[in-house]
Structure 1
């Protein structure tokens, strides 16, 4: 996975110590289909995900990540969920947790392809026939597709509606 330059600079100072980062998940819809990508690092199918650059608006980051990873032009529809990931330890020992902003996005143009090497596949799936994914990713997709105009709280792979997770 491509690591943003600002994280590489931080890692020079802090080594593999835990980082608290902001990220996005882009659940892209085109009619009754949803975009899924197969990650090159884990082989799992997920919506497009990525890290927000310093000073970047989360919705802009979601648009950028979809273009970079799947070669699609999209527009944000709404913030669907806000969640915190469990701690992750990468193969090189780097540690991170993410404040995830899940957006429902609408396809504008383009044909999906794994554009930047972070994914091995990018394609549309019917909503009723999505590939297997982790409980956390499924909760993000469910929040995006819920139709609820307010953002949901995603905690440990579970969408909590109308209540703060604490």
Structure 2
């Protein structure tokens, strides 16, 4: 088994950037990974001030995406969470899908962001690996203390919504659309 930082480095290096911003985030993240042997949040909310997060983005064959109305962020986000010490980011994505959605999923990394947080836990950087997972609109999402609601968004609803998502979400959707050719 690879050491955690080596495994994360391999995941990040294998992601093909969508645009200049993702390329910058990838380059900065690879430099960070080469400068540290600890990438995990140790003390909530922000110690160390840069740490790993895994998003899991359930998506249907039609391109509908499941998002949660996150309590702390005040935004509609993919389910996900901080990578626990020693945990592989893909395992985090699967764990979060099970904890937050009550489902078992296969995941694939497709997107990388490095975001200075805002709202309640403002002031630290979440380095987020975005994993896609096959989704099913028939899923019944259990209640959670972490989000107000969960719902499926169609590509049209995403395009028409205001600034209510993660700041990189529309770029993620653009990348996903180019990879998967979902109907609009």
Deviation at 1:91, TM superposition (A): 3.6
1:81 aligns with 2:114: no
Deviation at 1:127, TM superposition (A): 2.3
Structure-2 change in CA distance of 1:42 and 1:135 (3 Å):
closer
Q: Compare the two structures and name the one with the higher helix fraction.
A: 2
Match in the other structure for 1:147: 179
| CA RMSD in angstroms, aligned pairs only | 2.9
Supply the distance in 1 between the matched residues of 2:57 and 2:102 (Cα, whole angstroms): 14
Deviation at 1:28, TM superposition (A): 1.0
Q: Deviations over 1:60-118 (max 9, x none)?
A: 11111122222233211x211122112x36647x7421111011111279724254310
Structure-2 change in CA distance of 1:84 and 1:107 (3 Å):
same
- List gaps (5 residues or longer) in structure 2: 1-39
Supply the distance in 1 between the matched residues of 2:152 and 2:46 (Cα, whole angstroms): 36
Supply the distance in 2 between the matched residues of 1:58 and 1:140 (Cα, whole angstroms): 18
**What SS class does the counterpart of residue 72 from structure 1 fall into?**
coil
Match in the other structure for 2:102: 71
1:1-166 equivalences in 2 (<5 Å): 7=41, 10=43, 19-32=49-62, 33-76=64-107, 78-86=108-116, 88=117, 91=120, 95-107=123-135, 111-130=139-158, 131-132=161-162, 133-147=165-179
TM-score normalised per structure 2: 0.60
Q: Compare the two structures and name the one with the higher strand fraction.
A: 1
Moved over 3 A (4+): 15-18, 89-92
1:18–1:97: 8 Å Cα contact kept in structure 2? no
Supply the distance in 1 between the matched residues of 2:179 and 2:87 (Cα, whole angstroms): 26
TM-score normalised per structure 1: 0.66
Supply the distance in 2 between the matched residues of 1:59 and 1:16 (Cα, whole angstroms): 22
Supply the distance in 1 between the matched residues of 2:68 and 2:75 (Cα, whole angstroms): 8
